[in-house]
Structure 1
Amino acid sequence: MKRGSSIGLFGRFGRSEDLKRLDEALRRCDVHPMTLKEAVKLAAVSLMKDEEGGGEPPPFAYPPAAELLAYCVMGPDPFAHANGEAALARVEGRVERALEEDGTLDTKLILLAITSGVIQPSVVERFGLEAG
């Protein structure tokens, strides 16, 4: 039986495992999960599930998604400071590829960051991003 994502309720029902994994992956990228709207995280996990054909994403799928979201939320300089130049080059390469390849998970995560208003203006400017 497929279980949906859950943010918990009044401390009585716990967060779903998928959101816990995304939160932990965000922490590893130096983004406190509370700084990202729950709706954005739920949408990100939903996109990841769509990528898996509706099933649960494997544990190794969370760090790359979190890394891309962290870059969008932090911007290039803070991201590089927290995660290193190699991570910056890797994630910026992913953004460039996402702009060339329509419909990828990375493309969808970037669009999510744009439409939800969590993307840094420096990222928008750097890549000339726009929704639509």
Structure 2
Amino acid sequence: MVKRGSSIGFFGIFGRSEDMRRLDEALRDAGLHPAQVPEGVKLAAVGLMTSEETPEPPPAAYPSVGELMAFCALGGELFAHENGEVRLAAVTRRMETALEAGEGRDAEIVLLMLHAKLIHPALVDRYDIRAESEG
């Protein structure tokens, strides 16, 4: 759940909250322009970063979330072009670990990107990513 202080701004009158600015910066740093991600998806991502123990995500939490979101959206080839092979290898391991575990923050971010239709088709095919409904 998104904490009450998160704000996307309002017609440029009210500013964006610090958490949204940090996520935008993390997305930019990973090679994905923040405008490519709908505000609702970013709010949900910030919400996934919170817990009862950490109602305010620490600044150090944003880069890894932005990196995984960028990888999901850009796919491996463009992500590598923007970030290099070393960073690609690291985020690929995270993706594989998240998909294998099926739970945890990284898995939730991947699922969020899948449901938002922001995950690159090559990744969907490569990892056979799909959402299964229970029941």
Range of TM-score over shorter length: over 0.9
Deviation (angstroms), 1:100: 1.8
Deviations 1:60-98 (A, max 9, x none): 000000000000000000000000001110001001100
Superposed CA deviations along residues 83-131 of structure 1, whole A, max 9, x for unmatched, are 0001110001001100121320000000000011011100111111111
Gaps of 5+ in 1: none
Q: 2 CA distance for matches of 1:53 and 1:6?
A: 21
SS of the residue aligned with 1:75? helix
- The whole-number CA distance in structure 2 between the counterparts of 1:21 and 1:61 is 10
Stretch deviating more after TM superposition (96-105 or 70-79): 96-105
Asked if 1:110 is matched to 2:110, the reply is yes
Instruction: Give the equivalent residue in structure 2 for 1:11.
Output: 12
Query: Helix, strand or coil for the counterpart of 1:93?
Result: helix
Question: Is the partner of 1:49 in helix, strand or coil?
Answer: coil
The secondary structure found in structure 2 opposite 1:86 is: helix
Using the size of structure 2 for normalisation, the TM-score is 0.92
Partner of 2:63: 63
% identical aligned pairs? 52
Matched to 2:109, the amino acid is L
Give secondary structure in 2 for the equivalent of 1:61: helix
The CA distance in 1 between the partners of 2:57 and 2:102, in whole Å, is 21
Q: Which amino acid aligns with 2:22?
A: R
One-letter code of the match for 2:58? P
CA-to-aligned-CA distance 1:15-71 (integer Å, 9 cap, x gap): 010000000011111111011111110100000113x63511000000000000000
How many corresponding residue pairs? 130
- Matched position secondary structure for 2:24: helix
Give the alignment's TM-score, normalised by structure 1: 0.94
Distance 2:102 2:32 in 1: 27
Q: Which runs of 5+ in 2 are unaligned?
A: none
Alignment of 1:54-93 (within 5 A): 55-93=55-93
1:130 alignment counterpart: 130
1:45 matched residue in structure 2:
46
